[in-house]
Amino acid sequence: MLLAPGARTLVRTLKRLGYVTAVVSGGFVQVITELMADLGIDHVAANQLEVRAGKVTGRLAGPVVDRARQGRCPPADRRTERCAPHPDRCGRRRRNDIDMLATAGLGIAYNARPIVRDAADTALSVPYLDAILFLLGISREEIEAADSEYPV
């Protein structure tokens, strides 16, 4: 799975600064779990494929993570986690992400379609995902200090 350039820096910096991270996806847990663990993501909400006798049945196990459910995920995390001063930031790019952008404290459309950009609080049209750090008010000095304080 390819990550957007800057994704590792974004997550690593947020984690080192005490943020709680989450991925909410209409994709499948079985596809993204290893990558999310590698990145150190705290929470993952995605569809779970049903597996019986070691084979995928083609059905889902558990609730469907659709547009409506995605829109409900950030507030639940906000109630249960100690988050940074502005608890919900959301960077999204597709039409089915609009509900989630609406519930986030700061909805960021990242390289998104026009309809998503219009629904977001702000938009980034750059190749590097870690540019979101600057929208959050995190300076280059803070990023470098987090890297030096907590080296990989």
In this predicted model, what pLDDT tens digit does every residue of 16-55 receive, in sequence order?
A: 888 888 887 778 888 888 888 889 998 887 888 889 999 9
Mapped onto helix, strand or coil, the DSSP state of residue 122 is: strand
Q: In whole angstroms, how large is the CA radius of gyration of the chain?
A: 16
What are the pLDDT digits (tens) for 85-125? 333 344 444 445 566 666 667 888 888 889 888 888 889 99
Single pTM value for the model: 0.72
DSSP 86: S
Mapped onto helix, strand or coil, the DSSP state of residue 90 is: strand
Determine the Cα–Cα distance for residues 34 and 149; give it in Å rounded to an integer: 26
More confident residue, 6 or 106: 6
Count of C-beta atoms within a 10 Å radius of residue 71: 19
Mapped onto helix, strand or coil, the DSSP state of residue 150 is: coil
Compute CA 122 distance to the chain's CA centroid, rounded to the nearest angstrom. Answer: 16
